[in-house]
Amino acid sequence: MDIKKYFDDITKEFIEELTKVKTYEELSVVRIKYLSKKGVVPMLMLKIKEVSDKKSFGEAYNKIKNFVELTLNEKQKVYETEKLKQELEKEKIDISLPGSSLKRGMMNPYYKIIREIEDIFVGMGYQVEDGPEVENDKFNFELLNIPSDHPARDMQDSLYIDSNILLRTHTSPVQARVMQKAKGKPIKVICPGKVYRRDDDDMTHSHQFGQVEGLVIDKNINMANLKATLELFIKSMFGEKREIRLRSSYFPFTEPSVEVDISCINCGGKGCSMCKNTGWIEILGAGMVNPKVLTMNGYDADEYSGFAFGIGIERVAMLRYGIDDIRRIYQNDIRFLSNFNKICED
Ligand code: DAH
């Protein structure tokens, strides 16, 4: 047997068959024919029994096996690349087509106004503090000079978790927390946050709303400092023309206490339905920190004095943006929020 010729003939036959192949599937048929278990190439090995020069046969066998495998693999790669190219071509995205645009989100006026308030006070050197919304009786009442038999508790009837733990009724407990942390050192903070009361919801009330607490403690702090601070805040928020008026009031944690009004944004003080013909709109509560509160929270009331204030966040937002119903702030109706598109752009 002429081993060389025998193998050359098979190689020639293989090459001829391969030249006829036009598709990936046809190539698979040739692969099966030559390389499967009972294919042409493995079957060649059976012939070795019939030849005497087994070494040459073995070498020729390995040569043809490698050749067939390599050639088929190369050809397969060409088809695969081609196939991938076609698929990519098919999946091409036409970026010149106009896409469907996503609507831009709008910031809720509640958060927008907090940012504005923070900006004003940070500009005056205040730090922004945070406090827990789930408070205990001690911080929410006791340390603010509201003992358990105090009638002021009735006005702030709240949502209790147990007899000692409640959802805070105001941001004032942060005053006590900040004082205890500062351990007798000067303080200048604001604290925005949510508070809860057992109120029925209507146009101007909600069982959950926001307040910004303010607290300044240092030596020689007096009522004039409080008034100047609030005046600056009001004018920055509502415009230079706004006047403020301090009315005597009562809060257990401040002494003296005041209620602060601003001249009506709608009529400028002449009287209209918005200010119920008084020319003034109530905007916040404030006062000089009660010496009892200073002492309870670790300050020497002879050396230190301070002022505090509590601003209603929604009230400021409603006046600033002309919102008629507090509930709109919480509903997140996109038609309502879109009105703040311009105002709310940061
Ligand atoms: N905590 C009071 C409330 O929720 C508001 C308040 C009044 C806060 C006077 C103060 C203040 O810091 O000095 O009704």
One digit per residue, the tens of pLDDT, for the chain of length 346 reads 788 899 999 999 999 999 999 999 999 999 999 999 999 999 999 989 989 999 999 999 999 999 999 999 999 999 999 989 999 989 888 889 888 888 777 889 999 999 999 999 999 999 999 999 999 999 999 999 999 888 888 877 788 999 999 999 999 999 999 999 999 999 999 999 999 998 777 887 889 999 999 999 999 999 999 999 999 999 999 999 999 999 999 999 999 999 999 999 888 889 988 889 999 999 999 999 999 999 999 999 999 999 999 999 999 999 999 898 889 999 988 888 887 765 434 3
Identify residue 74 by its one-letter amino acid code: E
Of 172, 198, 221, the one to substitute when testing ligand 1's pocket (max ligand atoms within 8 A of C-beta) is: 172
> Do 8 and 137 belong to one domain?
no
CA 309 / ligand 1 centre spacing (Å): 6
Q: Structure tokens of 71?
A: 């050639």
The ligand 1 atom nearest the CA atom of 172: 1
Domains in the chain, number: 2
* Residue 298 in domain: yes
Amino acid letter for position 236: S
Residues 9, 138: one domain?
no
pTM exceeds 0.85: no
Residue to mutate (ligand 1; options 216, 226, 253; most atoms within 8 A of CB): 253
173 vs 106: CA distance, rounded Å: 32
Q: How far apart are CA 170 and CA 153, in angstroms?
A: 11
Examine the fold and report which residue of 91, 121, 140 is the final residue of a domain before the chain moves on: 91
Nearest to 307 by CA among 286, 326, 325, 332: 286
Task: Tell whether 25 and 128 lie within a shared domain.
Answer: no
Question: Does 82 share its domain with 114?
Answer: no
Range of the domain at 226: 109-337
Residues 175 and 294 grouped into a single domain: yes
User: Atom 5 (ligand 1): residue with closest C-alpha?
Assistant: 310
Residue 207 inside a domain? The answer is: yes
Cα dihedral 139, 177, 133, 287, rounded to 10, equals: 80
Q: Is residue 219 part of a domain?
A: yes
